[in-house]
Amino acid sequence: MPADQSANCLVVGAGVVGVSTAYALARRGVTVDLVDREAGPGRGTSYANGAQLSYAYTDTLGSPSLLAKLPWLIAGLDPAIRLKPSFDPEFLAWVLRFLRACSAKQHISGTLATLALAAESRLALHALLERHAIDFNHVVAGKMHLFFDATALSAGRKMSELKRRHGVSQQVLSAAEARAIEPALTDAKGLMGAVYTPSDAVGDPHLFCRALLNVLTTDYGVNTHFGFNIIDVTVSTDGVIVTGAGGNQIRGRSLVIASGPQATSLLRPLGIHMPIMPMKGYSITARPGTNAPHVSLTDTARKIVFCRLGDRIRIAGGAELGARDATVDPRRLQGLIQTALASLPNAADLDQIETGWAGLRPMTPNSLPMVSQPRDNVFLNVGHGMLGWTLAMGTAERLSKMVLNARDASAPRHLTAPRLSHRPTKASPLVPTAGQ
């Protein structure tokens, strides 16, 4: 490998996690090549997700309350969360680990660990915006979690008290107080109260990917390789090589995988196994309705979010664990529309929907992203689940420091590590796509 490529870092995945990682590395002086199978950045899970930057809502998916609902989930009786059962050993192993993560102790510890990471992520995003004035409809709009029964509101109050002890500014509001802040809630029938976080924000993740990519290529010399379908990865002590379908190769000193749920099939042939399960979600984007909210809203009963992005409203919801196809199911999309009408009927003009979309979120059993170094020159930044947009900048900072520490600590080896190579079969193509 040529000496001038010895410091290169190949980042696979150009969603919010991938472009954030490329930025964190490039601004520290690392030469970066960004690789993605799509024609441009943010075309996968980052394209049209819920768009909320939920720095205070870091609750893990697994919890005692969800565990109590498990029979209904298995029976398919919960319209918000669905399981796609499988006898695949990896699926069963994931579910067992998820069940262990549903304990009260794991739920609280995971929530607080993610809360600390979210705080890092917010600081990193603000630092980015101080250096580069990019436009992605970023607004500190505040966020409310809406509760429609006393038990849920009490649980929300307890979690809010816990987070306030860890530095989060939140308020528990009555229904009247919530409506005074957000008049659109006059349409929220049966509202019992809300947890309000004034400092939470929103932003369009797809626009962010495009705008940051422009900064990366213009100001930091990042090389991009879009439409690059990886069919082979070679890893050795000399560096890494990724080979595309046309035989073209990209070489570097180290490899960062930030390709969301596709990371599992990419790394499995290298002997790297990750407990990541795709969870499918849906969104619609439409013009604001006659009573559109300005505050970012989450209906906790119906598991649906409303987010204003410039002159559009983004509505997102649904969780189908184990679904591996991102194709839009018209029935599920219609279900999201009906849920939106039941929650806030005048939030968006649902007669003229501009975009109906589905994406796959990479879930770990404990809902915590994986930032790790499984090989000397292979790094992972994956498994962000439903908080990829929120946590992207924070995990990028952690990953970049890990890469630099590994490079600084490198020393001549006494033994040469075996060369690892894989070539995917036709039944399992390795085609990294944009991350979350």
Asked if 436 contacts 61 with a C-beta cutoff of 8 angstroms, the reply is no
Give the whole-angstrom CA distance, residue 134 versus residue 194. Answer: 32
The structure tokens listed for 59 are: 């609750």
Give the whole-angstrom CA distance, residue 32 versus residue 1. Answer: 16
Angle between helices 205-219 and 16-26 (to 10 degrees): 30
DSSP class of residue 91 equals: H
Tens digit of each residue's pLDDT, the chain (436 residues): 343 444 489 999 999 999 999 999 999 999 999 999 999 999 999 999 999 999 999 999 999 988 888 777 766 667 778 877 778 888 899 999 999 999 999 999 999 999 999 999 999 999 999 999 999 999 999 999 999 999 999 999 999 999 999 999 999 999 999 999 999 999 999 999 999 999 999 999 999 999 999 999 999 999 999 999 998 899 998 899 999 998 999 999 999 999 988 898 888 888 998 999 999 999 999 999 999 999 999 999 999 999 999 999 999 999 998 888 999 999 999 999 999 999 999 999 999 899 999 999 999 999 999 999 999 999 999 999 999 999 999 999 999 999 999 887 764 443 333 333 343 333 333 333 333 3
Task: Give the strands of the sheet with 420-422, arranged side by side.
Answer: 249-252, 239-244, 230-236, 420-422
**What is the H or E stretch that residue 336 is in?**
helix 330-343
Could you tell me whether strands 304-309 and 312-321 are parallel, antiparallel, or unpaired per DSSP bridges? antiparallel
- Domain covering 3-422 assigned CATH 3.40.50.1220 in the classification: no
With tokens 């890990």, the residue in question is 402
Domain boundaries, given as residue ranges, for the chain: 3-422
The structure tokens listed for 244 are: 């595309």
Transcribe 285-319 into DSSP letters.
EEEE-TT--SSEEEETTTTEEEEEETTEEEEEEEE
Determine phi and psi for 416, rounding to 5 degrees.
Answer: -85, 125
The structure tokens listed for 35 are: 């690789």
